Amino acid sequence: MLALLLSACTNADPRERTAPKAFTGFDELIFEQTACLFDCAAFELAIFADGRVLHTGPTFDNTGGPHESRIDARGLARIAQAVREARLDEMRGSYQETADGCEHWFTDMSTQSVRVNRGQGARSDYVILYAGCLGPTVPTRRINALFSAVDQVTGTGALIEQRKRARRPNAGAVEPAK
């Protein structure tokens, strides 16, 4: 028994040990959405493994600038689980053309992308989805579920609506009766 315990000890220099892998499974998670013909928000959302959240892009640039916030470990764990459930590593890099599985098209829609950076030497995933691209092999539900899970933690949708209202003065005002 003592030999077993002693064999578990190491004389390795502590500087040689590697840091534990972040429980999120990513160093950085980036979502982007382009504008569309209608009133689609154009933005970038970056979530970092330390809990930092950064909203940037035209929707924010035109309404007061970038927005920074933080999420706690529980929120990061929810996002990491949503990333695993989305199975981005099983997806094509692009869903924008007929060759990508787009059987039905709607024009003037936004393009969404998600990028998972896992650090040096690790595989990173990048998926682009044109929102007007529909077909049985296009993972629209999985991408939307991921965006929804992230929104529940980061409050991106509510923040974008708040910025849109700020862009339109008197958006909530009621016209007086004449």
Predicted local distance difference test score (pLDDT) of residue 122: 76
Closest CA to 65 of 150, 163, 162, 169: 163
Q: Is 178 inside a domain boundary?
A: no
Count how many residues are written for the chain: 178
Q: Is 177 inside a domain boundary?
A: no
Q: Is 2 inside a domain boundary?
A: no
Number of folded domains that form the chain: 1
Q: Identify each DSSP E strand in the chain by its residue range.
A: 28-33, 43-48, 52-56, 67-70, 94-95, 104-105, 111-117, 125-130, 133-134
Q: Is 75 inside a domain boundary?
A: yes
User: Most confidently modeled of 8-12, 21-25, 108-112?
Assistant: 108-112
Q: What is the CATH number of the domain that holds 91?
A: 3.30.1560
Q: Is 155 inside a domain boundary?
A: yes
Q: Which residue segment(s) compose the domain that 111 sits in?
A: 22-167
Closest CA to 79 of 131, 138, 140, 28: 28
> What mean pLDDT comes out for the span 152-170?
84
**pLDDT-based confidence at 93, cuts 50/70/90?**
very high
With a cut of 80, say whether residue 51 has pLDDT above it.
yes
Predicted local distance difference test score (pLDDT) of residue 9: 40
Q: Indicate the pTM of the whole model.
A: 0.77
Q: Residues 30-42: pLDDT tens digits? A: 999 999 888 888 9
Report the alpha-carbon distance of residue 73 to residue 138 in Å, rounded. Answer: 32
Evaluate whether 104 touches 135 at the Cβ level (below 8 Å).
yes
Q: Residues 122-151: pLDDT tens digits? A: 778 899 999 999 999 999 999 999 999 999
Q: Is 8 inside a domain boundary?
A: no
Which single residue is written with the structure tokens 């099983």? Answer: 90
Predicted local distance difference test score (pLDDT) of residue 170: 54
Q: Is 123 inside a domain boundary?
A: yes
DSSP string, 89-130: GGS-SEESSGGGT--EE-SS--EEEEEEE--TTS--EEEEEE
Q: Is 176 inside a domain boundary?
A: no
Residue with the larger pLDDT of the pair 10 and 54:
54
Q: Residues 165-178: pLDDT tens digits? A: 877 655 444 555 55
